[in-house]
Amino acid sequence: MARTSQMVQLTDSFERKMDYLRISVTDRCNFRCQYCMPEDIKFENPELLLSLEEMLTFAEACLQLGVTKVRVTGGEPLVRKGVVGFIGQLKAMGFEDVTMTTNGFLLKENLEGLVDAGLDRVNISIDTLQPEKFQFITRRNHFQKVWDAIMAALETPLSPVKLNAVAMRGVNDDEIVDMARLTQEHALHVRFIELMPLNGDTDGVRFRKLFISGKEILDRARTELGDLKPVEKDDPAAPADEFKFDGAPGNFGVITPVSEPFCARCSRLRLTADGKIHPCLLTDLDVPVMDAIRSEEPITEIHKVLWETARVKPAAGLTLPEESRNRTMSQIGG
Ligand code: SAM
Ligand code: SF4
């Protein structure tokens, strides 16, 4: 649906435009990354989750209030049946930018469909280039399949491809240089994300042991590989600080939600598969929207909930590690 000339832009109490929606299409995943979910996680009963059609209704209401970008995520989005068609429908609805974050396991066989559906970009999560370590982190022995998907994606219009690696001291910080070198060989934008204390890290001990800052990562890459020049952001709200080695086809960067939270320029809202809006990743706040979506006049009712969400979106979510530690990323619409 096209936006009308009378459109009022969804804006929060601190004058931040809310124009970026992340939709978690499922809480399920085929991996069990240590920092994200326990091996024995209990998923929601699928019957209690929003259908993809209901998520489209929510997206349409957002589009009418000036949300222009949407990222499809999870859990693992590609385990949700129908997600490729869902992406096509988001694109047909009029979103300017439709992207997806995936662990890559089911990506290769879906690449053609995703490109045909109009997906604009893909982010693939991969924390290590070493198969054994990959198995340790994800609790699954799927390194090769993910690597093959990354290489295949580079051959499609989805290139350049963004790679996300969660940085963990003593786990993958010995690979900072190897990961940075990838950007010299391929059109890959490799970004280390600072670890966030989620997934039942109740005393923050694990977090403090593993945490490594974005600044240290950049310093170590510079020391080993020489000069890194800053890359100007296309979108000032983008969370990654990216850099380039001379002549490299890709960029190397960091995302620093812990050491330098980007709250002041946050334009995001997150819809979870169980029908809640999370206006802030770093607090426990959520606003239920399931009833509005299932009401007689869903668009009108969703708009009311969106404005309420904009009203309560906090200026900053600096509650780490005390308040966010019991949730997983997939429960918040990572
Ligand atoms: N399953 C998909 C994937 O892994 O790309 C999409 C969902 S996943 C929750 C989205 C992103 O959140 C991934 O890049 C993952 O590495 C990141 N993530 C999950 N838990 C995290 C944590 N505790 N700290 C930092 N990033 C985390
Ligand atoms: Fe699954 Fe992504 Fe979480 Fe890993 S980070 S367990 S791939 S949802």
| Predicted confidence (pLDDT) at residue 159 exceeds the cutoff of 80 | yes
Verify whether ligand 1 is closer than 6 Å to residue 317 (CB atom): no
User: Sorting pLDDT into bands at 50, 70 and 90, what band is 318?
Assistant: low
Q: Whose CA is nearest to atom 10 of ligand 1?
A: 334
Lowest mean pLDDT among 16-30, 51-65, 191-205: 191-205
Q: Does domain 20-324 have CATH number 3.40.50.2000?
A: no
Ligand 1 in reach of 35 Cβ (< 6 A): yes
CB of residue 214 inside a 6 A radius of ligand 1: no
Mean pLDDT of 156-173: 97
User: Who has greater pLDDT, 39 or 207?
Assistant: 39
Distance 107 CA to ligand 2 centre (A): 14
* pLDDT confidence bin for 325, thresholds 50/70/90: very low
Per-domain boundaries in the chain: 20-324
Flag the least confident range among 7-16, 136-145, 257-266, 271-280: 257-266
Indicate the pLDDT class of residue 265, thresholds 50, 70 and 90. confident
Q: Return the pLDDT at 47.
A: 87
Least confident of 55-59, 202-206, 216-220, 275-279: 202-206
Whole-number Å distance between alpha carbons of 334 and 329 = 5
Does residue 242 sit in helix, strand or coil?
strand
Beta carbons within 8 Å of 237's beta carbon, 6+ residues apart: 20, 262, 265, 266, 267
Per-residue pLDDT tens digits for 112-134: 999 999 999 999 999 999 999 99
| Res 327: pLDDT | 57
> Using one digit for the tens of pLDDT, what is the confidence trace for 229-264?
999 988 877 888 999 999 999 999 999 988 888 888
Ligand 2 atom nearest to 334, measured from its CA: 8
Residues of the chain above pLDDT 90, percent? 76
**Ligand 2 proximity of 74 Cβ (cutoff 6 Å):** yes
Is any ligand 1 atom within 6 A of the Cβ of residue 76? yes
Give residue 1 CA to ligand 1 midpoint distance, Å: 31
Average pLDDT value for residue range 10-20:
93
Q: What is the DSSP string of 163-185?
A: EEEEE-TTTTGGGHHHHHHHHHH
CA distance 56 to 76: 18
Pocket lining: 163 vs ligand 2, CB cutoff 6 Å: no
Confidence band, pLDDT 50/70/90 cuts, at residue 284: confident
Separation of CA 195 and ligand 1 centre (Å):
9
* Average pLDDT score over residue span 278-289: 88
Ligand 1: does its nearest atom lie under 6 Å from the Cβ of 102? Answer: yes
The residue whose CA is least distant from atom 25 of ligand 1 is: 195
Least distant ligand from the CA of 333:
1
Q: Which of 23, 27, 33, 135 to mutate to test the pocket of ligand 2 (most atoms within 8 A of CB)?
A: 33
Residue indicated by tokens 């988001």: 90
Q: Does residue 323 surpass a pLDDT of 50?
A: no
Q: Which of 76, 143, 198 to mutate to test the pocket of ligand 2 (most atoms within 8 A of CB)?
A: 76
Q: Say which DSSP state 10 is in.
A: P
Q: At 297, give phi and psi (nearest 5°).
A: -125, 75
pLDDT of residue 201: 62
| Percentage with pLDDT > 70 across the chain | 91
12 falls in which pLDDT band (50, 70, 90)?
very high
- How large is the average pLDDT for residues 72-82? 97
**Predicted pLDDT of residue 52:** 98
The pLDDT value given to residue 321: 47
CB 252 within 8 A of CB 243: yes
